[in-house]
A and B are shown apart, each in its own frame.
Chain A
């Protein structure tokens, strides 16, 4: 069974600085999808970024980028120029490929604080 591990329960970053959140996963599949979701205090789950395993290029979305290491099964999220609004819980998630039945499997989350 697939598992997702986030080893940092809490992280803190100074406003305008850069922070990296770690995520590792375990799967025997060769094709799959990885995601980072953000959950602010409002509790709405917001997609931050997605990565398709067959793509070697790391995904980027404005200030958010990932370091996808397929062989190491690692999928870290880098937030550049951190802003106060980035403070939230961040969840790494895995999903099996198209054509297969699969829900999202989440890690336990990392609580990110941003200091002004």
Chain B
């Protein structure tokens, strides 16, 4: 049973470009969460999605960031017009449950903005 798959593992973008990060949850999981981790810091919640629905986006910056989890295919975190401050590790996690159990994490995507 494959774990949470994230790609790309590493992404380099120049300021002003777009970054797209993809996440395929574990089989049977319908809940996806995105977290951001800045260097030497903990994980900060960004957004929680179910298929075709954004449930909680309270941690998402108001501009340039968006997320989706379509009926078919992976969840995508999109960052438009990236700036150097967007450089971070972005983790995706999935869960079979709405609440309660642990989240299963992918290996993260490291975004570097030049």
- A residues contacting B by CB (< 8 A) are 33, 35, 37, 42-45, 47, 50, 91, 95-109
The total of interchain contacts (Cβ-Cβ below 8 angstroms) comes to 72
Q: How far is the CA of A42 from the CA of B48 in the complex (A)?
A: 24
Partner of B42, one of A33, A99, A102, A108: A108
Main SS class of interface, A: loop
**Max chain A CB contacts within 10 Å: which of B42, B45, B56, B108?**
B42
Q: How far is the CA of A96 from the CA of B56 in the complex (A)?
A: 14
Q: Is the CB of A104 within 8 A of B99?
A: no
Q: How far is the CA of A109 from the CA of B110 in the complex (A)?
A: 19
Q: Is the CB of A98 within 8 A of B98?
A: yes
Q: Is the CB of A43 within 8 A of B108?
A: yes
Q: Is the CB of A101 within 8 A of B56?
A: yes
Using an 8 Å CB-CB cutoff, how does the interface string of B75-114 with A read, 1 for contact, 0 for none?
0000000000000010101000111111111011010000
Give the shortest distance, in Å, between A10 (CB) and chain B (any CB). 11
Main SS class of interface, B: strand
* Interface residue tally on B, bucketed by range: 20 to 34
Q: Is the CB of A98 within 8 A of B101?
A: yes
Partner of A98, one of B44, B97, B104, B108: B97
Using an 8 Å CB-CB cutoff, how does the interface string of B11-39 with A read, 1 for contact, 0 for none?
00000000000000000000001000100
Q: How far is the CA of A103 from the CA of B34 in the complex (A)?
A: 10
Q: How far is the CA of A9 from the CA of B4 in the complex (A)?
A: 29
- Given A43-B108, A103-B45, A104-B93, answer yes or no on A98-B100 (Cβ-Cβ < 8 Å): yes
Give the shortest distance, in Å, between A21 (CB) and chain B (any CB). 14
Q: Is the CB of A106 within 8 A of B101?
A: no
Write the chain B residue with the least CB distance to A102: B99
